[in-house]
């Protein structure tokens, strides 16, 4: 049991990030699927991007709160700067997300739901490194 706890402590940040990442992905996919199944048509390029941005806003809001508290355990008193850094890094990955979705769905005619799953994996990995290196740096914790 002690070895498991030591192993968990060693990889706590990554394990917590993966858990929060899965939950964030559920928020992102759930909100995306909700709007494309009820309001928007993903076969129209503009509506596809609206659905994508909507899911992004839901996911980023959830991700900031959970990453700050449970993953990186930030104690940074300058929350405004931290939020700006967090949102800026997520805007970068949103643009990456949108480009990949456009290329896979609009250009290559891939199923939008499969493309979204693939994009989520790429974006989740990129978000971890941006959060660790730029948003919640060690000196902010």
Rounded-to-integer distance, Cα 7 and Cα 9, Å: 5
pLDDT given for residue 81 in this prediction: 93
- Confidence class for position 52, pLDDT limits 50, 70, 90: confident
| pLDDT interval class at 140 (50, 70, 90) | low
> Tens digit of pLDDT for each residue in 24-44?
989 999 999 999 999 999 889
First to last CA, the chain: 28
Q: What is the pLDDT of residue 121?
A: 86
Read off the pLDDT band of 2 (50, 70, 90): confident
pLDDT digits (tens, 9 = 90+) for 68-80: 999 999 999 999 9
**pLDDT exceeds 60 at position 56:** yes
Predicted TM-score (pTM) above 0.85: no
For residues 116 and 31, what is the distance between their CA atoms, to the nearest angstrom? 12
Tell me which H or E stretch contains 6.
helix 2-10
């Amino acid at each position: 049991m002690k070895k498991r706890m030591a192993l968990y402590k060693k990889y706590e940040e990554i394990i917590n990030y993966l858990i929060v990442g899965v939950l964030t992905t559920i928020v992102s996919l759930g909100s995306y699927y909700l709007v494309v199944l009820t309001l928007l048509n993903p076969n129209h390029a503009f509506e596809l991007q609206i659905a994508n941005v909507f899911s992004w806003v839901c996911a980023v809001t959830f991700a900031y709160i959970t990453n700050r508290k449970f993953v990186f355990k930030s104690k940074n008193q300058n929350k405004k700067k931290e939020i700006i850094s967090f949102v800026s890094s997520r805007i970068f990955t949103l643009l990456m997300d949108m480009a990949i979705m456009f290329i896979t769905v609009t250009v290559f005619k891939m199923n939008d739901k499969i493309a979204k799953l693939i994009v989520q994996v790429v974006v989740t990995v990129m978000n971890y490194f941006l959060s660790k290196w730029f948003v919640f740096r060690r000196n902010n914790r």
